[in-house]
Structures are given as structure tokens and as C-alpha cells.
């Protein structure tokens, strides 16, 4: 079994298409198919179920996929460790980054500082729901992820460091019947305005669902949006109401870029929630047993900005 065989296997597993996988791997499709067949011979089982219309993983393929990811991640980490002997002049950092930051610092400044300190490290930043990014760290697809999860929501097998937390707030349109209040309970929200909610599987989504459960009410009619900024703008337009971290509206690194909530568009209002447990948590998750030097260096820079000494 060769490492390139595992890379070809994962390319097909992710694209579910031999032609696309061959393009991704910069090889001819015939060559890729031959190497997959050789891998199947080595493992003694078919890895893909092929038809004229689809390519699906077999049970053996499903078993091999997470193992292949870990093997290749370990090889990359070994190379990174060797690079560290040269003073971290090279390396790669695959970072997952949540949209909402309930932290007292700007993550863009963290990334810029890291780049200045380690200019030779290739940095790739991706965004997905928090649970997906945590699973990707566990599987070896990401080195680190800054996620909107509390410590007790982090999957088993991962380490975490809490970076911060902040209150959830409700954003309502200017003409909303509760717009003149400073604080509201979720049970006070009328059914006439649907809830604009964040993507399922996200840390924020879980925290909002927990807040509604504590209030003893159903969230009612709702629709999902994948961008926090769009959620706030839609609420301002009167499409509905939304529950977001206060840090997404105002403060360092906020998606709205506001110093105060008075700058919300169309006279929208940001209302404090009366529920003291309605809090957005942010932490960084990683696998401490297989932390690459580039990832360890990022944790150091993150700690400096977070105030760890």
C-alpha cells in the first residue's frame, strides 16, 4: 500500500467521481483507476461500488476513509516536525474558523501576527458549522479549529482551550412591537415574525435552541441562513427576528463592523436577553497527541492575543 494510493482513494471518496478525482490528483483517469484497483487488491476488498451513474463507498471503503485521512495527516505532521528543526521555516496549517467570535480580540490580527512570525508556513482557513470542524480535527482533516462550542460540547478525543464567551442578543426591525425595550425574554417574541436562524449543526444554533428550550417556547416558523451578517440585515429589513452573539453586532471583529448598535441598518434594534444563560461560547479545539509544530505555534500566538501569559 502506497501513500499515493491513499491520496487517490480519498480524492475519489470525496468527489464520488473518477474523472474529477483524476483532475484533482493531476493524473490520467486510466492511471488513477489502475491504482485504485491495485489498492483494492492490496486490501482484499472492493472500496467502491461503481455504476454508470454513481460511485459509492462500500463498507470497506467507509472503514478505510477515516484511517486513510489519519495516516496522511500523520505523514504531513511528521514532515512538519522535521521542518520545525529548521526553525519552522516551512510547514502547513489547516485552520477552521467560526464566523462568530465572542472574544475580546480580533482574529484577523491573530492571523496577521502569525503570518509575520512564520511567513514560510502555508495557511489555509476554512469555515463550516462548529460540529463539522471539530469532527474534521478529530479525523485529521484540520489541525485546529476555533469553534462556537462550550467545553462540554467538544467531542471526546479532542483538547480545547476556552477563548471567550459573550451574551446572545435579539435583533428586531425598527417597527417591531418590542423594539422600544432594552431587554426581552424569548417567550415575549410574537409569532408574527419568524425566526431567522443559523445553519444546523453550528455551535450558535445549539445555543439558540437551548435558550428557547429554557424559555419553554417553540422557535416557531423559521428559515436558515448561512451568514451571520445576512441574518442581521434580513432582520433589519423586517423579514423576521434573529438571535446572534452580541460580538457579531458590535465590537472587535464584528461582522457588522459597528462600535455601537446605533449603527444597525434601517433603524433595527439590538435587545438584551433576560436569560443569563443565553451565552455564546468560543474555544479552540485540537488533538494534543498529534499537534504539528505549525499548529502549536498558532496556539502560542493565539494565547498572546487572548491574554495567556
For a pLDDT cut of 90, what percent of the chain falls above it?
A: 52
Q: Are residues 58 and 120 in the same domain?
A: no
**Cell representation of residue 209:** 435552541
Three-class SS of residue 49?
strand
How many angstroms separate the CA atoms of 143 and 196, rounded?
32
Last residue of a domain, one of 38, 68, 98: 68
Domain that holds residue 201: 164-281
User: Given phi > 0 = left and psi -120 to 50 = alpha, else beta, which region is 283?
Assistant: beta
Q: Are residues 46 and 8 in the same domain?
A: yes
Q: Are residues 286 and 159 in the same domain?
A: yes
**pLDDT bracket for residue 309 (50, 70, 90):** very low
Higher pLDDT, 149 or 308: 149
Q: Are residues 184 and 275 in the same domain?
A: yes
Higher pLDDT, 199 or 173: 173
CATH number at residue 260: 3.40.190.290
Q: Looking at 55-64, 75-84, 88-97, which range is the least confident one? A: 75-84
Q: Are residues 170 and 153 in the same domain?
A: no
Which residues are CB-contacts of 43 (< 8 A; sequence separation ≥ 6)?
1, 60, 64
Total tally of structural domains belonging to the chain: 3
Q: Are residues 276 and 292 in the same domain?
A: no
Identify whether the C-beta of residue 55 lies closer than 8 Å to the C-beta of residue 257.
no
Class of residue 272 by CB neighbours under 10 A (exposed 0-12, middle 13-18, buried 19+):
middle
Higher pLDDT, 104 or 183: 183
Q: Strand pairing of 222-225 and 48-50?
A: unpaired
Q: Are residues 157 and 287 in the same domain?
A: yes
Which residues are CB-contacts of 272 (< 8 A; sequence separation ≥ 6)?
167, 169, 182, 183, 184
Q: Are residues 158 and 168 in the same domain?
A: no
Mean pLDDT of 255-272: 90
Q: Are residues 142 and 94 in the same domain?
A: yes
Of 61, 41, 63, 48, give the one whose Cα is nearest residue 18.
48
When the pLDDT of each residue in the chain is averaged and rounded to a whole number, the result is: 88
Q: Are residues 50 and 84 in the same domain?
A: no
pTM for this model (two decimals): 0.66
pLDDT in tens, 99-145: 777 677 888 899 999 999 888 888 999 988 888 899 999 888 899 99
How many angstroms separate the CA atoms of 217 and 223, rounded?
17
**pLDDT bracket for residue 256 (50, 70, 90):** confident
Q: Are residues 46 and 150 in the same domain?
A: no
Cα first-last separation, the chain: 46
Is residue 73 a part of any domain in this protein? no
pLDDT for 46 equals 94
Q: Are residues 148 and 287 in the same domain?
A: yes
CATH number at residue 8: 1.10.10.10
Class of residue 17 by CB neighbours under 10 A (exposed 0-12, middle 13-18, buried 19+):
middle
How many angstroms separate the CA atoms of 20 and 25, rounded?
9
Amino acid at each position: 500500500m502506497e501513500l499515493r494510493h491513499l491520496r487517490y482513494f480519498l480524492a475519489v471518496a470525496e468527489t464520488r467521481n473518477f474523472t474529477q478525482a483524476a483532475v484533482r490528483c493531476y493524473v490520467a483517469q486510466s492511471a488513477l483507476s489502475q491504482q485504485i484497483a491495485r489498492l483494492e487488491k492490496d486490501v482484499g476488498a472492493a472500496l467502491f461500488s461503481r455504476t454508470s451513474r454513481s460511485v459509492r463507498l462500500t463498507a470497506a471503503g467507509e472503514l478505510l476513509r477515516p484511517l486513510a485521512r489519519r495516516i496522511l495527516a500523520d505523514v504531513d505532521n511528521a514532515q512538519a516536525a522535521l521542518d520545525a528543526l529548521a526553525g519552522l521555516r516551512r510547514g502547513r496549517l489547516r485552520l477552521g474558523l467560526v464566523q462568530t467570535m465572542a472574544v475580546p480580540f480580533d482574529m484577523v490580527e491573530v492571523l496577521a501576527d502569525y503570518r509575520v512570525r512564520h511567513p514560510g508556513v502555508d495557511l489555509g482557513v476554512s469555515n463550516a458549522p462548529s460540529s463539522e470542524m471539530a469532527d474534521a480535527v478529530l479525523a485529521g482533516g484540520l489541525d485546529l479549529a476555533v469553534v462556537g462550542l462550550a467545553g462540554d460540547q467538544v467531542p471526546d478525543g479532542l483538547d480545547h482551550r476556552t477563548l471567550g464567551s459573550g451574551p446572545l442578543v435579539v435583533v428586531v426591525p425598527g417597527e417591531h412591537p418590542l423594539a422600544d425595550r432594552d431587554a426581552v425574554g424569548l417567550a415575549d417574541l410574537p409569532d408574527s415574525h419568524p425566526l431567522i436562524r443559523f445553519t444546523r449543526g453550528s455551535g450558535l444554533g445549539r445555543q439558540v435552541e437551548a435558550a428557547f428550550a429554557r424559555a419553554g417556547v417553540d422557535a416557531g416558523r423559521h428559515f436558515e441562513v448561512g451568514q451571520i451578517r445576512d441574518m442581521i440585515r434580513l432582520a433589519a429589513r423586517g423579514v423576521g427576528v434573529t438571535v446572534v452573539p452580541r460580538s457579531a453586532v458590535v465590537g472587535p471583529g464584528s461582522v457588522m463592523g459597528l462600535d455601537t448598535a446605533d449603527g444597525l441598518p434601517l433603524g433595527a434594534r439590538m435587545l438584551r436577553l433576560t436569560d443569563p444563560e443565553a451565552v455564546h461560547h468560543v474555544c479552540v479545539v485540537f488533538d494534543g497527541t498529534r499537534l504539528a509544530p505549525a499548529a502549536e505555534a498558532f496556539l502560542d500566538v493565539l494565547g498572546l492575543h487572548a491574554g495567556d501569559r
